[in-house]
Copies of this chain bind each other. A is one copy, B any other.
């Protein structure tokens, strides 16, 4: 326990829970980290696809980024309304379930779960890419670094609500601040040099000839990849209840600040890439440099500011994985509360966390990181689908919500959400088609599988509830002691203990004794009259029946099982309790010295038995020594 305490902190009593109450400054730090850090990989994901176009491809980045920012604005207005309508937290799962029903709700749930897992994987891998850009010697250790950061985040989060959260404000603000400085300085130098500034550290040159022609298909793919820059925008609407009064107003102001900052970062990065001729480099080749790294080099040179910026990127982007550590368990709990996931997600652990949700998230993220070797580029195609599916369902749900409540201005509200839903829905289709072969098919396959699994879980819980629900009061009639069956081999203190227990709870006892040609030594039958029957007769008590079971094939358990099942068949409405004497040893290896018949018999009785057969363990403890 001490190592657990050291790593994760002492257990917290339920009474130690307290609500965090934050304002918009803290809100931007805490809820903005996911959305804002997307600026580190969204533009890069788009630029990677422009590599074959060479230097000419840079012309495309501005229009594509503009389209993404328009989409971002539509989503922004849509989520403002969600915050207002769901001040207690309006995650996509809640909104979709309440307004569209359980089917779309499950679809949103599956999309979100995958989304959170990929947020963790992508954030960590993008963070490591920043590190590898600054220190190229570390590239061979990409996967190991990813898993290491995953472990550190997990330990931090397992310490629970009291410690996490606030620590994440500083990196967010540092990230935004350094990037804004780079953008401002870059634009200023461009303005001063008449639009053709000289890069302080030249980026790797882009090929001047294109190996591929511009096509609508390519543009769609670039757009689809760039859309990953929008991930995390929904975070505020999930956590409205964390804000202090006036809750809705604080939350909306937070969302506004986040979206504005994100838009500035995205457009700023796109502009600088255009001006300084910076494109992406393939991330799985040696000499990889992330776009932000090239950009900072070009504008600020190879100085201390470069390292601060890269440090901020690394920290912020890695920590962007952190909200998922709260959101995923919360989502899993909500789904489990509707009986669509195992109830274990409802339990809170020693530090008041839903620890099992964290375990599930970490295991799945680790699998994803390992399968895709921790390379962001390969993860991006999987990522956007979950995000946009959740966006679409949430906003479609809001349309129904407004229509159902028909409050003042409901048509306008519904219009805003409707436009958002349509825009993100179209984006979803684009992403699905444009990225299908590269990896979107994985997500497209996982979502129905997850839904199927959740449906099976739900069906199981329903059946258990139906079969065990008991509207009637306790039946008190027919409370007859059970028939007791004890398999015994020879007379010993263990045998005596079992017999005494049987005699204390029921007058009807059958002792069965398996006889085979290999049986050797004294059997219970040799001692029966003198050791068992005589004392009972003297005390005027009923003597148990002793039954020999012949076993021509030397099996021991099969005859006992047959006997028990036969009794169960012939005695109607009778409980049968099988007493299993069991030797409890003090060292694990001692178990090898005794046949495990007691355990196998218990298992067989559980597997082949039925409602009327019970098992009673009679443990015999060897003394220590």
Q: B-contacting residues of A (Cβ < 8 Å)?
A: 11-15, 17, 342-344, 346-350, 457, 460-461, 463-464, 467-470, 472-477, 479-482, 491-497, 499-501, 503-506, 516-518, 530-532, 534-536, 538-539, 541, 552-554, 575, 577, 583-585, 590, 592-595, 602, 606, 609-611, 613-623, 625
Task: Note all chain B residues with C-beta closer than 8 A to A516.
Answer: 14
On whether the beta carbons of B504 and A541 are closer than 8 Å, the reply is no
Task: Note all chain B residues with C-beta closer than 8 A to A584.
Answer: 606
On whether the beta carbons of B622 and A517 are closer than 8 Å, the reply is no
The answer for the CA separation of A468 and B347 in the assembled complex, in Å, is 44
On whether the beta carbons of B504 and A479 are closer than 8 Å, the reply is yes
Using known A-B contacts A463-B622, A535-B474, A606-B619, determine if residue A593 contacts B343 with beta carbons closer than 8 Å: yes
The answer for the CA separation of A611 and B606 in the assembled complex, in Å, is 24
Of the candidates A505, A575, A602, the one having the most CB atoms from chain B within 10 angstroms of its own CB is: A505
Using known A-B contacts A464-B622, A473-B534, A516-B14, determine if residue A594 contacts B494 with beta carbons closer than 8 Å: no
The answer for the CA separation of A474 and B486 in the assembled complex, in Å, is 15
On whether the beta carbons of A347 and B590 are closer than 8 Å, the reply is no
A553 contacts which of B13, B475, B504 (Cβ < 8 Å)? B13
On whether the beta carbons of B457 and A469 are closer than 8 Å, the reply is no
A531 contacts which of B342, B457, B474, B505 (Cβ < 8 Å)? B474
Q: Could you show 30 A-B contacts with beta carbons less than 8 Å apart?
A: A14-B552, A348-B518, A348-B554, A350-B553, A460-B593, A461-B593, A463-B622, A464-B622, A467-B623, A468-B492, A470-B531, A473-B530, A474-B496, A474-B499, A474-B500, A474-B535, A474-B536, A475-B496, A476-B536, A477-B539, A479-B500, A479-B504, A481-B504, A482-B501, A505-B506, A584-B606, A611-B620, A611-B621, A615-B617, A615-B619
The answer for the CA separation of A61 and B585 in the assembled complex, in Å, is 57
On whether the beta carbons of A460 and B606 are closer than 8 Å, the reply is no
On whether the beta carbons of A476 and B539 are closer than 8 Å, the reply is yes
The answer for the CA separation of A536 and B505 in the assembled complex, in Å, is 20
Count the copies.
2
Task: Note all chain B residues with C-beta closer than 8 A to A614.
Answer: 501, 616-619
Task: Note all chain B residues with C-beta closer than 8 A to A609.
Answer: 619, 621
For the complex with contacts A460-B590, A606-B619, 12 further pairs of A-B residues with Cβ separation under 8 Å are A14-B553, A15-B517, A349-B554, A350-B553, A461-B593, A470-B493, A474-B536, A476-B503, A584-B606, A613-B619, A615-B619, A616-B617
On whether the beta carbons of B620 and A553 are closer than 8 Å, the reply is no
Question: In the complex, which residue of chain B has the Cβ closest to the Cβ of A591?
Answer: B342
On whether the beta carbons of B347 and A554 are closer than 8 Å, the reply is yes
Task: Note all chain B residues with C-beta closer than 8 A to A493.
Answer: 467-470
On whether the beta carbons of B470 and A492 are closer than 8 Å, the reply is yes
Task: Note all chain B residues with C-beta closer than 8 A to A625.
Answer: 463
A414 to nearest B CB, angstroms?
A: 35
8 nearest interchain CB pairs?
A14-B517, A505-B505, A13-B552, A476-B539, A468-B492, A470-B493, A473-B531, A479-B504
Question: In the complex, which residue of chain B has the Cβ closest to the Cβ of A476?
Answer: B539
Task: Note all chain B residues with C-beta closer than 8 A to A463.
Answer: 622-623, 625
On whether the beta carbons of A467 and B553 are closer than 8 Å, the reply is no
Task: Note all chain B residues with C-beta closer than 8 A to A506.
Answer: 505
The answer for the CA separation of A12 and B622 in the assembled complex, in Å, is 36
A518 contacts which of B14, B479, B531 (Cβ < 8 Å)? B14
Task: Note all chain B residues with C-beta closer than 8 A to A347.
Answer: 518, 554, 595
Task: Note all chain B residues with C-beta closer than 8 A to A11.
Answer: 553
The answer for the CA separation of A618 and B605 in the assembled complex, in Å, is 11
The answer for the CA separation of A539 and B479 in the assembled complex, in Å, is 12
On whether the beta carbons of A468 and B482 are closer than 8 Å, the reply is no
Task: Note all chain B residues with C-beta closer than 8 A to A475.
Answer: 496, 500, 535
The answer for the CA separation of A4 and B623 in the assembled complex, in Å, is 41
The answer for the CA separation of A480 and B82 in the assembled complex, in Å, is 66
Task: Note all chain B residues with C-beta closer than 8 A to A553.
Answer: 11-14, 350
